[in-house]
Structure 1
Amino acid sequence: MTLGKIIVLGSLNMDLSIRVPRLPRPGETIAGTDVVRGAGGKGANQALAARRLGAQVALVGMVGADQFGAELRDGLAAGGVDVSGVGVTADGPTGVALIVVGPDGDNMITISPGANAKVVARDLRARLEGAHALLLQLEVPIAACRAAADAARSAGVSVVLNAAPLPERPGADLTELIRRSDVLVVNETEAAGLVPGRADPTDAAVALRDLGVPEVVVTIGEHGAIAVGANDVTHVPAFPVDAVDAVGAGDAFCAEFALARTAGGADLRTATRRACAAGALAAARPGAQTSLPRRDEVDRLLSTPASRLPEVSEHAT
């Protein structure tokens, strides 16, 4: 049984990861483990995460006509994701992410976008029929995201934007995309980059809401997340886990939030709490797509006895 329909427009990358005893400083060389190859890309990660969490999922994206591209498409299809919207181009390779992971799960990532730079919002209107949410990220062109968001709004489908990775110089095109979204999800670094001078994540979240997006969620790592609605601010603490690799945690968070908030009809606080649980489970396992949790795992973590669950604080803006 599926619990809703999610359309994802986004990236597909082959991740090349290496674990190190600590993250290197600029100009420094550090010996690490053997390179591990794994499927990734924020679009593909969020699509597979939503599928594992119970949604019917279709991904729109682009790969190169190479071995990496074939592996990524085949892996997603095997996981139950509809990849008929993932095109293949001979004009450029499949995207690649180079990932360095420290002992506490923190990471440094460099992306070569490849075919992701050629993504367009093709045939999206038909795919949006019956969908509950369109999930977007910024590893594909903002113009494609804006076209997709416009199509979703015309179809009455909620737009959830994960504004990551943030451009070095966010411009008016990104501001317009944010205003076309129903929910904006960013981490605290991205939030501060979008509203310079607002270092406090709560202040940044409120300022982002005031740009015109109805709801904003700012993730704050081991401290959980800040959720801002029309009239209130809620702090949802994180579920404590032994973090191994944070690479897929944000994508699991976004997928569970989008599914719970739209198809599941959960309120903002409940959706954020479910998302925190999904992110925590992903952070406790290595890899991007290999770490993504199933719905029963999220439900099990949320059913932990009340004495062990984090408290939720809420106040008006």
Structure 2
Amino acid sequence: MLLIVGEAIVAFHRTGREHYTGPWPSGSPAIAAYVAGRLGVPTVFVGAVGRDDHGTVMADGLAAGGVDISHLVVSGKAPTATAYITYRGAAREFDLRVSDSAAIQVAGPDLADLPERAGWLHLSGSALIFGEPLAGTALTALHRARAAGARISIDPNVRPESLDRTAREAVVEALGLAHVVLAGEGELAALRVDASALVADGATVCTTFGAGGATVTDESGSVHIDALPVEVVDTDGAGDAFAAGFIAAALAGADPVDAARAGVRVATEAIRTEGPMSVMPDRGLLAG
């Protein structure tokens, strides 16, 4: 079972001054859970939503991916988190409404015995930056799953300029516990984390470069994987789709290079589909 703990966010998108589209079920951990579920991985998502229409959008989106949402917390005291995203060419501007939302209301008891039952835990660094109790709960899940023998993958998925000292230290701590690091270009350097040190400690580091493909580095060396040609429709969640594809392929027995190739194929399908949790990838993408 794949366990993902993190924020659930309903997103609205626009290009320039256009009207927003949405609401889209979103949030980095939730997207990864949705795509993994679509790829046939038994996936449990632990997060929180409000008792409102946006919460229903979020729950329905996860369920459509086959994700187990029986541990999704529904709060009657805070609204579902939202994000208003404006695309300006390759750049994105975010208006995040998370810190006072239900998204961070995930506490230790909500984990139940899931960390001990998980075969793989995936954590997005974004779950560590929005506040407590979510940040502490996510780290607790990581430590418990690691101690129980689960494989751990970490996507730093943070903008370093938005990190305070506590959040940065939490992300660095998480990276030090990972078997697989799935990082975007420049993320580790911005966090002042040495990728070669992670590899020396036994981790596989997979760095994604968008249209530049991905590079997989482990103790045996580095292999570059080219991106696939694609008509770009929506890049939101592409990195999370890559992570889900990698995890699904690895759980099916693929080595890290073949898992990354699967990640590229799944991300390509996500990029050509509008909406962060709308792609319907086929399990055939895992084998190529």
TM-score under structure 2 normalisation? 0.86
Matches within 5 A, 1:81-100: 81-100=67-86
Q: Which residue matches 1:124?
A: 111
Describe the superposition over 1:264-284 as per-residue Cα deviations: whole angstroms up to 9, x where unpaired. Answer: 121111111110111111111
Query: In structure 2, how many angstroms separate the alpha carbons of the residues matched to 1:123 and 1:91?
Result: 16
Q: Say which SS state the counterpart of residue 273 (structure 2) adopts.
A: coil
Query: In structure 2, how many angstroms separate the alpha carbons of the residues matched to 1:131 and 1:165?
Result: 25
Query: In structure 2, how many angstroms separate the alpha carbons of the residues matched to 1:118 and 1:136?
Result: 17
Whether 1:42 aligns to 2:28 is: yes
Q: Mark the CA change 1:151 to 1:129 in structure 2 (over 3 Å): closer, same or farther.
A: closer
Whether 1:135 aligns to 2:125 is: no
Q: Which residue matches 2:51?
A: 65
Q: Which runs of 5+ in 1 are unaligned?
A: 21-30, 197-203, 303-317
Deviation at 1:214, TM superposition (A): 1.1
Whether 1:209 aligns to 2:199 is: yes
Q: Which residue matches 2:233?
A: 244
User: Which amino acid is 1:150 matched to?
Assistant: H
TM-score under structure 1 normalisation? 0.79
Q: Say which SS state the counterpart of residue 290 (structure 1) adopts.
A: coil
State the identity as a percent: 29
Q: Which residue matches 1:19?
A: 15
CA radius of gyration, larger in? 1
Q: Which residue matches 1:310?
A: none
Q: 2:60 aligns with which of 74, 77, 85?
A: 74
Consecutive aligned runs of 4 or more in structure 1 exceeding 6 Å deviation = none
Q: Mark the CA change 1:91 to 1:230 in structure 2 (over 3 Å): closer, same or farther.
A: farther
Q: 2:141 aligns with which of 139, 148, 164?
A: 148
State the number of aligned residues.
276
Q: Which residue matches 1:9?
A: 5
Query: In structure 2, how many angstroms separate the alpha carbons of the residues matched to 1:110 and 1:231?
Result: 42
Q: Mark the CA change 1:240 to 1:149 in structure 2 (over 3 Å): closer, same or farther.
A: same
Q: Mark the CA change 1:218 to 1:108 in structure 2 (over 3 Å): closer, same or farther.
A: farther
Confirm or deny: 8 A CA contact 1:244 1:284 kept in the other structure.
Answer: yes
Q: Which residue matches 2:153?
A: 160
